[in-house]
């Protein structure tokens, strides 16, 4: 009886099983991720969209402390500066002239004091000489007393001039403090948002502003939430932020403050709508984000977080594929 031919081993059977298993795991991962996204998009209510602009909590206008002419600007727009860095210099010619005049007057008084000190020293030596003459009855005591009186008069005049010097020096110190105010310094470490170099040579008063400076650590998005949707959001709600300056990218954040007052917002077609400005805090401030950038925010009521972005989704799929290829090997 003829033997049946032995069945040849299927070399590809095990590989097909591995691939099949990998495909099923991939499909499962896609379903799970899609479910997560759909849950967070629709499981916590309809998302709220709001236009916004990047701003900062510490955003100040630096003005002029003392009237004067702008002579020098040491930093330009976009520069990072440290607290107390000199930003600009002003000049007040009247103030400079007053200081020079007072210092000249002080120098003259000091010269007078030195002359009086020399006279007093000379007269005191004369007294020592005349004292011997008086003892030997060559001259009378009246001459000695006149010299002593003259010394006292010089000492009183010296004290008077020294008092005048102290008063003038205080005045000079006060004027120099005012002149120090002509140096405009940064109130804190931050980034300059303006450049007044084109105003060099102009006269400024204390009402005039010079620089705008923002603390980048306090950057946030001021979102203009439609008034009919503001009751849906609350502090802590997750937000996805898109910036016009970074097309194709999104950033995570959360609602840090819900506004309490509605404002009028005029659109391009002169359509007026009412919005409630609310604060959106970045989860981590992205590099390159600047005050004034336009933003679009997507708020997810209920505190739900979109934990999988487009980039994360792609990375997750690629990681699963790579892991399956390693297992197959």
Give percent of the chain with pLDDT exceeding 90. Answer: 51
Q: Which fold has domain 42-57+215-328?
A: Elongation Factor Tu (Ef-tu); domain 3 (2.40.30)
**Which of 92-106, 159-173, 263-277 has the least mean pLDDT?**
263-277
pLDDT score recorded for residue 37 = 55
Prediction pTM value = 0.56
What is the tens place of the pLDDT at every residue in 91-106?
A: 999 999 999 999 999 9
Reading across the β-sheet that carries 203-204, which strands appear in turn? 183-185, 86-91, 68-73, 203-204
Q: What's domain 59-92+183-214's architecture?
A: Beta Barrel (2.40)
Mean pLDDT of 47-65: 91
- Reference 312, options 29, 43, 48, 39; nearest CA is 29
With cut-offs at 50, 70 and 90, classify the pLDDT of residue 289.
confident
**Average pLDDT over the chain, rounded to whole?**
81
Provide the H-helix boundaries in 136-234.
141-180
Using one digit for the tens of pLDDT, what is the confidence trace for 204-249?
998 899 999 999 889 999 999 998 888 889 999 999 999 999 999 9
Least confident of 140-144, 292-296, 319-323: 319-323
Please state, in angstroms and rounded to a whole number, the distance separating the CA atoms of residues 100 and 77: 35
> What pLDDT score was predicted for residue 129?
80
Query: Which of the residue ranges 7-11, 127-131, 225-229, 320-324 would you say has the lowest mean pLDDT?
Result: 320-324
């Amino acid at each position: 009886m003829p033997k049946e031919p032995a069945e040849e081993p299927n070399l590809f059977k095990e590989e097909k099983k591995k691939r099949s298993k990998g495909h099923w795991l991939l499909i499962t991962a896609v379903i799970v991720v899609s479910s997560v996204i759909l849950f967070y998009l629709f499981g916590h209510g309809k998302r709220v969209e709001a236009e916004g602009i990047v701003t900062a909590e510490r955003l100040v206008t630096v003005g002029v402390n003392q009237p004067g002419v702008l002579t020098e600007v040491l930093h330009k727009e976009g520069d990072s500066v440290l607290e107390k860095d000199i930003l600009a210099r002003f000049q007040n010619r009247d103030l400079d002239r007053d200081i020079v005049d007072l210092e000249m007057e002080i120098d003259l008084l000091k010269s007078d004091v030195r002359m009086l000190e020399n006279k007093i020293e000379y007269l005191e030596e004369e007294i020592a000489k005349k004292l011997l003459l008086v003892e030997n009855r060559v001259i009378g005591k009246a001459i000695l007393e006149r010299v002593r009186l003259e010394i006292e008069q010089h000492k009183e005049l010296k004290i008077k001039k020294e008092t005048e010097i102290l008063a003038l020096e205080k005045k000079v110190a006060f004027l120099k403090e005012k002149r120090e105010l002509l140096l405009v310094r940064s109130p804190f470490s931050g980034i300059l948002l303006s450049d007044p170099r084109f105003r060099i040579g102009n006269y400024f008063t204390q009402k005039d502003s010079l620089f705008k400076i923002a603390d980048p650590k306090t950057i946030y998005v001021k979102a203009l939430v439609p008034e009919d949707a503001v009751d849906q959001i609350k502090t802590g709600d997750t937000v996805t932020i898109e910036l016009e300056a970074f097309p194709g990218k999104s950033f995570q954040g959360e609602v840090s403050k819900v506004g309490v007052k509605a404002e009028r917002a005029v659109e391009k077609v002169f359509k007026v709508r009412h919005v409630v400005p609310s604060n959106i805090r970045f989860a981590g401030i992205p590099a390159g984000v600047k005050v004034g950038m336009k933003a679009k925010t997507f708020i997810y009521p209920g505190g739900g977080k979109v934990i999988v972005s487009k980039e994360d989704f792609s990375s997750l799929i690629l990681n699963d594929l790579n892991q399956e290829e390693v297992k197959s090997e």
